[in-house]
Chains A and B, each alone.
Chain A
Amino acid sequence: MSLLEVRNLRKSYGALKVTDDLDLTVDEGELHAIIGPNGAGKTTLISQLAGQAGSDGGSVRFAGTEMMGMPMHRRVRAGMSRSFQITSILPGFSVLENVAAAVQARSGSSFRFFAPVSKEQALNDAALAVLARVGIADRAFFRAGSLSHGEKRQLELAIALATRPRLLLLDEPLAGTSGQEADRLVEVMRGLKRDVTLVLIEHDMDAVFALADRISVLVYGRIIATGRPEQIRDDARVRTAYLGEEAGEGS
């Protein structure tokens, strides 16, 4: 069963077609990686899917519902969340509050003005559980802005997870992390594969080929190939896109 069906998705910045009649199908339960050279339009695609950036046309169906024209916050509530390549946290909040805010968004009205939110045990417990899952529970009471870069990447993932999505769009979760931090995040994502459908944009090819069930290759706003990792590894068009014309012709 496909959870996400994208048809003829388009977006242009002036004459530049960033997303060019793009088709993509993501099956329920799979980890679908999207790779491609710099400037291929990967982050724009995620932003379009998440509803953060507008689209010029096409269709995005999620769990059978058309998402086009729906703002980001409503797509999140429908079960589709994204993470950001450039860490996007609430720096002045504690780590726990960052995650608890995401739990709060999906549990009851936030038009409550009197009861202190920091004493809502249900929110804090759920947030702590997510922090434990990504491995930064020991940082719960630190100011989010004071975390190391690697910890911020873990927090970024925790916030997205706390919205309890059916489909999680991860935009380069490993960006800028060191070897050890990256290994940790790869393990977290491997654990997530059981419960969440994942779309993963990533430059770290070791991680992509270790994690992905299927890989789509995005070049100049179009998907030029989709398949299992070994198919993609051997695909001549992919090699051309990545290694340049000559290598492609040579193969």
Chain B
Amino acid sequence: MRLIPNRAWAATLLFTAFALLPLIAVWLDDIYLIVIATRILAYAIAALALDLILGYGGMVSFGHAAYLGIGAYSVAILSRAGITDLGLHLLAAICAAAVFALVTGAISLRTRGIYFIMITLAFAQMAYFFFVSLSAYGGDDGVTLAARSTVFGQPLLESDTALYYTGLALLVGLYLLAVAITRSRFGRVLTGTRENPVRMQAIGFSPFRYQLTAFVISGCMASVAGVMLANQTSFVSPAFMDWHRSGELVVMVVFGGIGNLLGAIAGATIALLLEEWLAILTEHWQILFGLILVLVVLYSRDGLTGFFRRRL
């Protein structure tokens, strides 16, 4: 017996729950709930982006926090230059992320396995230290944003609820995009390359071009999460691209279940909620979190989403 018949149903349920959340927050009179939920949406976008290359492409990037930083600094840099439009912030973030992913991906993809993990980490650390040295934007301390991004010249996102629904719309849009990609011709080549790269070459594909394209798409998607995060915190610092954060993104994807997109979203949600709740219980909440992660990975190879699937 399946609890939920298929992924489309599960996605509908999950996104409906997200859509109803602000109503619950109003009912509970707990505005902080929306703040947490907006953070969750941002991380869900980043985890979704990572799952596209990790789950479908077999590329374990340990440097995806770099794209959070690139997205966040796009907001900070453009805002200071007087450009406050959300659309332009997103465009700048995506373009910058594409360039960074293209260059670092082209080099990283010459390696495999642990070397790929290490080289993506190294590039992210280079980005981290670049922004640490960027004294015009506060260096190590980062920079506080004067205001959130604007939409049609209006400060619409100053409302937490509006920002939340913007994040939700971006997440749903990117989720549908990711689903389409994984089911497309391109997605088949990407997944086939994860399964057996030599076989793909032997039928006439050059894996590198497809892997690099996926890497760039993933980076661009993750930069959108950075734009969201900067708006949510109204603050940008190199800490956004700390290597801990890259690790957390990998944990979210593994926690939720690798390679089904929805798992990444669920993983980000549960991981951040656990962080909130366990922190109330004890300041050593990470011990408990680690224990839960171990149990989930031990008892379900597909992470949290595995518990909802029929055991074969």
Q: How far is the CB of B301 from chain A (nearest CB, A)?
A: 13
Contact A73 B186 (CB under 8 A): no
Interface status of A30 (Cβ within 8 A of chain B):
no
Chain B residues near A13 (CB, 8 Å)? Answer: none
Chain B residues near A77 (CB, 8 Å)? Answer: 204
Binds A, one of B9-17, B109-117, B160-168, B195-203: B195-203
Chain A residues near B187 (CB, 8 Å)? Answer: 113, 117
In the complex, the chain B residue whose C-beta lies closest to that of A102 is B203
Contact B180 A73 (CB under 8 A): no
Chain A residues near B203 (CB, 8 Å)? Answer: 76, 81, 101-102, 105, 159, 162-163
Chain B residues near A160 (CB, 8 Å)? Answer: 202
Cα–Cα distance between A91 and B195 once the two chains are bound (Å):
7
- The contact string, 1 if C-beta is below 8 Å from chain A, for chain B 190-223, is 0110011011111111100010010000000000
Known: A71-B206, A117-B187, A163-B203. A89 touches B181 (CB 8 A): no
Q: How far is the CB of B48 from chain A (nearest CB, A)?
A: 16
Chain A residues near B189 (CB, 8 Å)? Answer: 101, 104, 110
Cα–Cα distance between A115 and B185 once the two chains are bound (Å):
8
Contact A117 B184 (CB under 8 A): yes
In the complex, the chain A residue whose C-beta lies closest to that of B195 is A90
B interface residues, how many (CB within 8 angstroms): 24
Interface status of B183 (Cβ within 8 A of chain A):
yes
Pick from A50, A73, A101: contact of B188, CB below 8 A: A101
Cα–Cα distance between A104 and B192 once the two chains are bound (Å):
12
Contact A117 B183 (CB under 8 A): yes
Interface status of A233 (Cβ within 8 A of chain B):
no
Contact B196 A97 (CB under 8 A): no
Known: A52-B201, A163-B203. A113 touches B196 (CB 8 A): no
Q: How far is the CB of B52 from chain A (nearest CB, A)?
A: 11
Cα–Cα distance between A114 and B183 once the two chains are bound (Å):
8
Chain B interface mostly: helix
Chain A residues near B198 (CB, 8 Å)? Answer: 52, 88
Cα–Cα distance between A77 and B202 once the two chains are bound (Å):
10
Contact A113 B184 (CB under 8 A): yes
In the complex, the chain A residue whose C-beta lies closest to that of B194 is A92
Interface status of A62 (Cβ within 8 A of chain B):
no
Q: How far is the CB of B56 from chain A (nearest CB, A)?
A: 11
Known: A73-B206, A92-B195, A101-B192. A112 touches B201 (CB 8 A): no
Interface status of A93 (Cβ within 8 A of chain B):
yes
Q: Which one of B180, B187, B201 has the highest number of Cβ atoms from chain A below 10 Å of its Cβ?
A: B201
Cα–Cα distance between A113 and B196 once the two chains are bound (Å):
21
Q: Which one of B183, B192, B202 has the highest number of Cβ atoms from chain A below 10 Å of its Cβ?
A: B202
Cα–Cα distance between A97 and B195 once the two chains are bound (Å):
13
Contact B196 A90 (CB under 8 A): yes
Interface status of A116 (Cβ within 8 A of chain B):
yes
Pick from A82, A92, A113, A120: contact of B186, CB below 8 A: A113
Contact B201 A93 (CB under 8 A): no
Chain A residues near B181 (CB, 8 Å)? Answer: 113-114
- The contact string, 1 if C-beta is below 8 Å from chain B, for chain A 145-169, is 0000000000000011011000000
Cα–Cα distance between A15 and B206 once the two chains are bound (Å):
32
Pick from A84, A93, A105: contact of B205, CB below 8 A: A105
Pick from B188, B191, B202, B210: contact of A76, CB below 8 A: B202
Interface status of A34 (Cβ within 8 A of chain B):
no
Contact B183 A118 (CB under 8 A): yes
Chain A residues near B188 (CB, 8 Å)? Answer: 97, 101, 104, 110, 117
Contact A88 B186 (CB under 8 A): no
Cα–Cα distance between A77 and B205 once the two chains are bound (Å):
9
Contact B184 A93 (CB under 8 A): no
21 residue pairs of the A-B complex, CB under 8 angstroms, read A52-B198, A52-B201, A73-B202, A73-B204, A74-B206, A81-B203, A91-B195, A92-B195, A93-B191, A101-B189, A101-B192, A101-B203, A104-B188, A105-B203, A105-B205, A110-B186, A113-B187, A114-B180, A116-B184, A117-B185, A159-B202
Given contacts A71-B206, A73-B202, A81-B203, 5 further A-B contacts (CB under 8 A): A52-B198, A88-B199, A105-B205, A117-B185, A159-B202
* Chain B positions near chain A (C-beta within 8 angstroms): 180-181, 183-189, 191-192, 195-196, 198-206, 210, 213
* Chain A positions near chain B (C-beta within 8 angstroms): 50, 52, 71-74, 76-77, 81-82, 84, 88-93, 97, 101-102, 104-106, 109-118, 120, 159-160, 162-163
